[in-house]
Structure 1
């Protein structure tokens, strides 16, 4: 299978920034995420559109656009150049295994560097995100972190008092291991 025209890591960054923009409560924060996303994509000759009705990020070459910024179907030479990435929902079983392996490696690094209490908290978040959303740690946005902290963690993680007292820090360590900032509710 040939390499995609838009590298996978750029697609993931664009999807993450779109989720963060979608979930942002502040309009300035939303605009900043979208500006960052658009700048990253423009470096690769792509543009994005969030199809809100089914929560899908559509990425396509900027040479498909006319002077007004609309897609001109006569410029589409190969529809396979366009990319659609679901921003929510579940995936296939093979996707789950891939995501679980990725998230587990991040959990292991947190535990190895910061101890078992942070490791247990990181594992709880990885279980929540993988099982409920089939998503990698770095794709989580504010709503998922909030749901984890307010609903899942108190009822399903069975934390000790020490683990409960450091869960915010544990999430920061986990997101740091993934190379991204932790979404706002955990700060």
Structure 2
């Protein structure tokens, strides 16, 4: 269920309506090693699906992305809301919630929550890690498909890494459109075969990451 607004009543119980939450969670680790209770892959998927829900052209599509996010987090007994005041995705344990509201007395350790800013690009300081992730996806595409698709995947990796400092499989529909319409024809110097194959190449990238493509 994805309610619609965030309020705090006189009893001190915080409502988790629509993608918002007033509980102050911890932040994701900035170092090389992930030390959060919620796996990093689950957090990355939650961020991507949240961005896709925002870009969705209709309510049904947005609801599908949110349902996918909820299902993935539920595998780890977590849930998520977007805190509107600072545009932050907050993932926190389901045990904090009863009847759709966060119970303050159940928050034993705020560091169990993970916060991800949804404003702007990713952290450039994480570029090396992002490049390693994207390069692995390019290699997977190269192994499963032709060099044409691998070259297109490499161009997409450069676009997402250099322009957004984010993994390829976190791209939204708008970012894919920007790549296809602007970056790819102007910067990748694609052959005719590459141009004809590029949409399939992008689908292969998301398949390699076991993620749903926004295309």
Structure 1 position 178, deviation (Å): 1.6
Structure 1 position 154, deviation (Å): 1.6
What is the aligned partner in structure 2 of residue 10 from structure 1? Answer: 42
What is the aligned partner in structure 1 of residue 155 from structure 2? Answer: 124
Say which SS state the counterpart of residue 30 (structure 1) adopts: helix
2:60 is matched with which residue: 28, 32, 36? 28
How far does the alpha carbon of each residue in 1:122-180 deviate from its partner, in whole angstroms, 9 at most, with x for none? Answer: 11111001111111122112111111111111211111122111111111122222222
Structure (1/2) with the larger helix percentage: 1
Q: Which moved more, 1:10-19 or 1:50-59?
A: 50-59
RMSD: 2.0
Extract structure 1 runs of 4+ deviating beyond 3 A: 52-55
1:76 is matched with which residue: 84, 88, 107? 107
Say which SS state the counterpart of residue 5 (structure 1) adopts: coil
1-structure distance, mates of 2:186, 2:127: 23
How far does the alpha carbon of each residue in 1:18-74 deviate from its partner, in whole angstroms, 9 at most, with x for none? Answer: 12111111100111111221233233322211134543210112232344x233333
1-structure distance, mates of 2:34, 2:186: 45
What is the aligned partner in structure 2 of residue 168 from structure 1? Answer: 199
Say which SS state the counterpart of residue 37 (structure 2) adopts: coil
Q: Which moved more, 1:45-54 or 1:153-162?
A: 45-54
- Residues 1:52 and 1:166: Cα distance change in structure 2 (over 3 Å): farther
What is the aligned partner in structure 1 of residue 28 from structure 2? Answer: none
Matched, 1:46 2:89: no
Structure 2 regions of 5+ residues with no counterpart?
1-32
1:96 is matched with which residue: 101, 106, 127? 127
Matched, 1:109 2:140: yes
Say which SS state the counterpart of residue 135 (structure 1) adopts: coil
Across the two proteins, how many residue pairs are aligned to each other? 182
- Residues 1:140 and 1:91: Cα distance change in structure 2 (over 3 Å): same
1-structure distance, mates of 2:107, 2:131: 37
> Structure 1 length as normaliser, TM-score?
0.86
